[in-house]
Homo-oligomer: A and B are copies of this chain.
């Protein structure tokens, strides 16, 4: 806010590419914590093809948007860039081969960080402090680090809705729908309240399979029922049990990814925690039992903030988070 609109020092560029679109921000390298004055957001997600994340589709949006931001910020170029992307670890091979040259040619960029979105999420929430960040929405993953230890990233869960993502939106919604259909059948563990809620949302129970299985976005359909489960938890013991079990899974996942030692910070990020205290309170209680030496803190910022922070750290040769070549890769280009 207090920054001049034409920063005197060098600028850095942060990029956050995910399922909901592409976002860019430029900030002074010396003050990445300040709200960036110049940002770009598009709701067109970068395509993923047979060769992974489509680097040329990304660049077609990124280069002109970054140029616009550069001009608006009055910067001559970018001292460093950090690109955070969902799927970077497994689908980022084309980004790794194409981006360094393209950004060097367009903006003279010589320092580039390529990060998984979980890493930019970590840096946004905790900076470079030791701890663990839970990212929870439709899915759920925890990422932990202790920069002082020399160890790599510690990851737990994030296996998707069939193999894990325990406690996620899809997990809570799925458990709620199972409880609804148990009530429909007269099986144990059923919840008439959740059956009513499910039929209000999806129509008669018999039509539920036909509304779910043909969809490509089944995890999102399941997760769309999670707010109903959280709402019913106030008066329905089955719904309350589902939310309580989800909270236990979330805390267990955080504990598994938390680096050993004391003074660790735990941050809960992602849309799932908008369910509110009905979920947050039992997560904190379970965390206090599982990680007695840790502090639960509000995340300082989001993944775009994290990308800016990492770019600024890279510009200052001060990256301390684990650089493992997969979740976080640094490319120094030219002399």
Contact = CB atoms under 8 A, between A and B. Distances in A.
Given A164-B178, A166-B178, A159 B256 contact: no
A156 B184 CA distance: 9
Q: Which residue among A156, A164, A174, A208 has the maximum number of chain B CB atoms within 10 Å of its CB?
A: A164
A162 B90 contact: no
A34 B110 CA distance: 83
A186 B210 CA distance: 37
A157 B177 contact: no
Contact of A186 (B156, B181, B187): B156
Given A163-B178, A174-B162, A185 B213 contact: no
Interface string A191-230: 0000000000000000011101100001000100000000
Given A162-B174, A164-B178, A177-B163, A155 B185 contact: yes
A278 to B, nearest CB: 23
A174 B218 CA distance: 17
- Chain A's interface: helix, strand, loop or mixed, by majority? helix
B210 A162 contact: no
A101 B155 CA distance: 62
Interface in A84-106: 90
A138 interface: no
A186 B256 contact: yes
A282 interface: no
B253 A163 contact: no
Interface string A133-170: 00000000000000000000001110110111010000
A218 B164 CA distance: 14
Contacts of A210: 90
Interface string A266-301: 000000000000000000000000000000000000
Contacts of A163: 174, 177-178, 181, 208-209, 212
A334 interface: no
A252 interface: yes
Nearest to A189: B252
Nearest to A208: B163
Contact of A159 (B90, B181, B186, B222): B181
A157 B187 contact: yes
Contacts of A208: 159, 163
A257 B182 CA distance: 12
Interface of A: 90, 155-157, 159-160, 162-164, 166, 174, 177-178, 181-182, 185-188, 208-210, 212-213, 218, 222, 252-253, 256-257
26 contacts: A90-B210, A156-B186, A157-B181, A157-B185, A157-B187, A159-B178, A159-B181, A160-B212, A160-B213, A162-B174, A162-B177, A162-B212, A162-B213, A162-B218, A163-B181, A163-B209, A163-B212, A164-B178, A164-B181, A166-B178, A166-B187, A185-B253, A185-B256, A185-B257, A187-B252, A188-B252
